[in-house]
Amino acid sequence: MAFKRGETCLGRTIYRPDTNRQNWARGAVSQLSARIKWALEDLPHDERLLDTTIEQLRRNLTNPVHYGDNKPGSFFESGVPVVPDPRFTFFDLMGFGISGEEGYKGFLRDCDLPESVPYIIVVAATSLLLIDDAIDAMDRDDPWYATWVLYQAHDLFEEMMLRQVRESVRPELRRQFASAGGKARHRDKHSHRDDILTEWATGKFNGNKSRCARWARTQFPIIESLETVKKWIREYETTIQQAK
C-alpha cells in the first residue's frame, strides 16, 4: 500500500499523539481510510500504479486544463460565494476531468497517466487524497473544510462499494443476457434512465444535476451527452411537481 498504518497516503499522521478531542473526528477519518484499504484488498490492483495515480492527481489539482470555464465553490442566487475561500478539491478534479469532451481517457492523458489505469484506482486514489486533505485541514484548525472533503471521500468510497457489488453479479447477468439471445446488447442509452433517476431521487447529489450527470457518465459509458441526463432530471422533477 502507498502509506503506513495510521498515516494518510501522503504521510500525514491521522491521530494527534496526545489525548485530544480532535481524535473523535480523526478516528472517523482513520476508519474510512482503513475501509478503503480493505476494499482495495478485495480488488486486483497494482500498488505501484496506485502510488503513481496518487502522485499524478496531486500534481494536477491546480492544473486549469481540467476545469475549463468552471469556477470553484458555489454561489447563492444573489451571486455571493457560499464560502469565503472557494477552491477546487480532488473530487472536483476527478469530476470535471472525466466529464470533459474526451472523457476518462482524456483525463488520464492530461494527468500523464497510462490509459490502462482502471477507473476504480482513480476513485480510490481521489478518496485517499481527500482524506489527506481533511487531516491537513484539521492540523490547520479548519474543521469546516475538513468536513466537506471527508463527505466527498465517503461519497467516493460508496461508489467503490457499489462497483464491487456490480462486479460480483455481472457474471450471472452475462449468463442471463446470453440465454435471452443477446437482446441486452441492443439496449440504447435511454434504458439507463430509470436507474439514473432512482439514484437522483435518493438525494445523494444534493440537487446538483451536473454532478449526477458526471456520475451517470462513469456508470453508463454508452451515454454520450451530459445534457441528456440533465434533461431527464428536469423532466422527472416537472412530473413530480405536477403530481403534488
- What are the pLDDT digits (tens) for 209-230? 888 888 887 777 666 577 788 8
Final residue of a structural domain among 136, 162, 185: 185
The pLDDT confidence band at residue 196, using thresholds 50, 70 and 90, is confident
pTM listed for this prediction: 0.69
Q: Identify whether residues 87 and 194 lie together within a single domain.
A: no
Q: Please report which confidence band the pLDDT of residue 184 belongs to, taking 50, 70 and 90 as the band edges.
A: very low
Instruction: State whether 180 and 193 are in the same domain.
Output: no
Which residues lie below 8 Å from residue 179, measured CB to CB, with a gap of 6+?
A: none
d(CA 209, CA 206): 9
**Do 68 and 137 belong together in one domain?**
yes
**Residue 101 reports pLDDT greater than 90:** no
Backbone angles phi, psi at 75, to 5 degrees: -135, 150
Residue 33: pLDDT above 80?
yes
Q: How far is CA 118 from CA 92, 114, 125, 158, 209, in A?
A: 19, 10, 11, 17, 25
Are 107 and 220 found together in one domain?
Answer: no
The CA-atom distances, in angstroms, between 133 and each of 1, 127, 128, 168 are 18, 10, 9, 32
Domain that holds residue 18: 1-185
Q: Do 209 and 89 belong to one domain?
A: no
137-179 pLDDT, tens digit per residue, is 999 999 999 999 999 999 999 888 877 665 655 555 445 545 5
